[in-house]
Every structure is written in C-alpha cells, then in structure tokens.
Amino acid sequence: MRKQDHRLDLAEATALQRRRFRELQRQSRVFDARIRTIGIEKEALDTQIKDRKIQEATQSACDESIAAELKQNDKILCMLDQRQKRDTQILNKALNEFRQNYQKPETRREFDLSDPQALKKDTPARLADSDPRCTVSGLQKFMGEDLNNENRQKFQQEQMREWLLQQRKDWENALADKKCADDLHDKHRMELDQKAMDLQRIDEETRRAICVTTKEFNKALAAESQQKRILEKQQQEEDNVAEISNLLKGDLLSENPQQALSSFGEGRVITDRWKGMSQDQLKEIRDVQMQQVLEKLRLEEEDRQRNAEWDRKRIQEARAALLYERHQQRQNRELRRALDNMNAQLSQEQKARQTYLDEEVYANFPSGQYYTQFNTTSR
C-alpha cells in the first residue's frame, strides 16, 4: 500500500513539473515582443527558406548534370549509330565479296541440274568403237542411268565437308576481323578525341596569335599609311615649287624671242628659231599664275578661318555646357543647404516637442513597483 502511494506521489510530482515547464515555455513565447508582434516563428521560416534554397540548388545541379549526361549520351548514340552503319557497310561488302569469291553458281551442289552447258559438258554416248562402255550386245548408255552414283556421292560428301570447314574458317576469320575492327575503332576514337582536344588548343593559340599579329599589322599599316601621306604631301609641294621655279628660271622663258620673228609678217615666227613667248606674254602668264596662287591662298585662308570659326563655336558650346553644369551644381548645393536647414529646424521642433512631453505632459513618471505587477503570469 505504501509502495502504491509512493507511485502516486511521483506521478503527481512529474505532472506538476511538466505543467511548470509548459508554463515557462508559454511565458517565454508570450513575453517575447518579437514573436508576439510578428506572430510567426522566424527561425522556422528562415530554416524553411534555407532548405528551399538548398533544394533548389540541388535540383539545379541535378538538372545540369542530367542535361550534360543527356548531351553526352546523344553524342555517344550518334557515334554508335555511325559506327553501326560503317560496320554494316563493311559486313555487307565482305559478304558480297565472299559470295562472289566462294559461292559462285558453279560451286553449288545442284548446279549440275540447272547447268545450261550440261549437254555440252556431258560425255557422248559413244566415243569410238573401242569404247569399253559399249556392251557385247552393242547397246549404248540409256538416259536415266547413273553408273557412277557411288563415286559421285562420295565426291559430293567430301566437297560438302570442305565447304563446311571453309565456312567455319571464314566465320572464325570474320569474328577475328570484327574484334580487331572494334579494337581499332576504339583506338581510333581515342586518337580522334585526343586530336580534337589538340586541334582545339592549337586553334585557340592560333586565334590569339592571329589577333596579336593582326593588331600589330594594323598598327604598322596605319603608321605606314600616315608616313606615306606625309611623304606624298611633301613630294607634291616640292614638285610644285620645282615646277614654278623651272617655269620662272628656265631657258624657255629667259631667251630672246626676236631671233624667231619672221619676215612674212609680225604674227609669224620661225619655228626652228623660236625659243618661247615674249616678256609681255610671260608677264601675263606670271600674272595669271600669281592670281591663281593668290586665289589658292585666299581659299586656304577662308578654309582656315572657317575651321577657326568652327573651333571657336565648339569652344563656346563647351564653355556654355561647363557654365550650365556649374549652375546646376550651385542650384543643387542651394537646394541641399535649404533641405539641411529645414531638417535642422524640424529636428529642433521635434526636440522641443519631446522636451515639452517629457517635462509637461508626462511629468508623473511611474515607479518600478508599478511595472512589477504586470506579466507575472501568462494567463
């Protein structure tokens, strides 16, 4: 009886301890402001989100591995299909060659029944008077008789055995050739894979080298083109100066034109003595050339002034853009300063309001004993 009472006390103590533990857990949940405000278990949600991300990453990695495996399987299937087609072609070719070489119509067992040359190849019924096939009665060999049946059957059996042995040997050779072809195909495939990797690496190196070479070649070509334009311009200027100098100081313009005047008229000249035009004509030509030079200088000056005007306009536009940008920066600084002043004013007003609330409105501040009477139980 005492033992039973002791068991009841232990059960009641255990139940009481369990209720106290549940009460403490409930108080921890009720008094926790975050859990009471949010109303959910954030740790559980974070754990679920983490598990979901891990699951998505695992699924993505699995999908990628499956896609890579599918691609690899497609490549293998294509290679196996090509290999099967090639092997089929080789086998058909070997079979046709075997039929042409070892299964000719003449080697068939029943060929003698359908041989179109059978009558020509057959032995005549009588070769001569001394033919031993001729009997005493003088009768010839009749149609349908087979006097060499036993030898012929033996020969056919021996020929059949030779054919079977030959077919077995050909089959073993074909199996050996197929195995050798498979080994060669595997080796060739490995060599092709290695060559493909080497070719890819060489291709990448070649592309990089080509890019570098092309870049250097373009640089050299640009420099050469620039130098060529400079040399052409310099040579053209030198040719123009030399041409003007030759025209002004040459023998054609400096010799006396009077010796070439003809006696038949003032406007005629002796062709073998005429050395050039007169000074007036030369002066007229020089004046025209000088006008052309002045016109060219005027055009160059107009181009220079036009370019200078465009440069001046670009500088003015750039200066106006810079001034506008500085104006915008000043406006932004002023707006920022006004916003800072407004924020400072609002901060002072908020501090004054808080001081008013602390000193005037909430002057009666409760003591600590007032707060100890709350949250003493979860019920």
Give the pLDDT of residue 195: 83
Give the pLDDT of residue 261: 66
How many other C-beta atoms are found inside a 10 Å radius of the C-beta of residue 285? 13
Measured between its terminal Cα atoms, the distance across the chain in Å is 38
What gap in Å lies between CA 215 and CA 209, rounded to an integer?
A: 10
In this structure, are residues 157 and 165 in contact, taking their beta carbons and an 8 Å threshold? no
Counted residue by residue, the chain has a size of: 379
Q: What's the pLDDT tens digit per position in 134-156?
A: 665 666 555 555 556 777 788 88
Residue 220, CB-side half-sphere exposure with 13 Å CA sphere? 6
pTM: 0.23
Q: Compute CA distances 369 → 31, 122, 260, 269, 374, whole Å.
A: 18, 142, 142, 142, 10
Q: Compute CA distances 130 → 126, 133, 134, 136, whole Å.
A: 9, 9, 8, 11
**Cα Rg, the chain, nearest whole Å:** 60
In this structure, are residues 257 and 277 in contact, taking their beta carbons and an 8 Å threshold? yes
Q: At what angle do helices 149-249 and 279-356 cross, to 10 degrees?
A: 110
At 26, which amino acid appears?
Answer: R
Q: What is the DSSP letter of 358?
A: I
Q: If residue 87 lies in a helix (H) or strand (E), which one and from where to where?
A: helix 42-102
Residue 172, CB-side half-sphere exposure with 13 Å CA sphere? 5
Q: Compute CA distances 334 → 239, 324, 327, 347, whole Å.
A: 66, 15, 11, 20
Q: Compute CA distances 228 → 7, 13, 242, whole Å.
A: 115, 109, 20
Give the pLDDT of residue 84: 92
Q: At what angle do helices 42-102 and 149-249 cross, to 10 degrees?
A: 120
Q: Which two tokens stand for residue 194?
A: 């290695």
What gap in Å lies between CA 29 and CA 94, rounded to an integer?
A: 86
Q: What's the pLDDT tens digit per position in 105-131?
A: 777 777 777 778 877 777 766 665 566
What gap in Å lies between CA 297 and CA 292, rounded to an integer?
A: 8
What gap in Å lies between CA 46 and CA 298, rounded to an integer?
A: 83
What gap in Å lies between CA 19 and CA 227, rounded to an integer?
A: 99
Helices (H), 250-278: 251-254
Give the pLDDT of residue 294: 93
Give the pLDDT of residue 87: 92
pLDDT < 70 positions in the chain: 1-6, 32-42, 124-131, 133-148, 247-263, 265-267, 269-270, 272-278, 365-366, 375-379
Residue ranges of domains in the chain: 157-224, 250-360
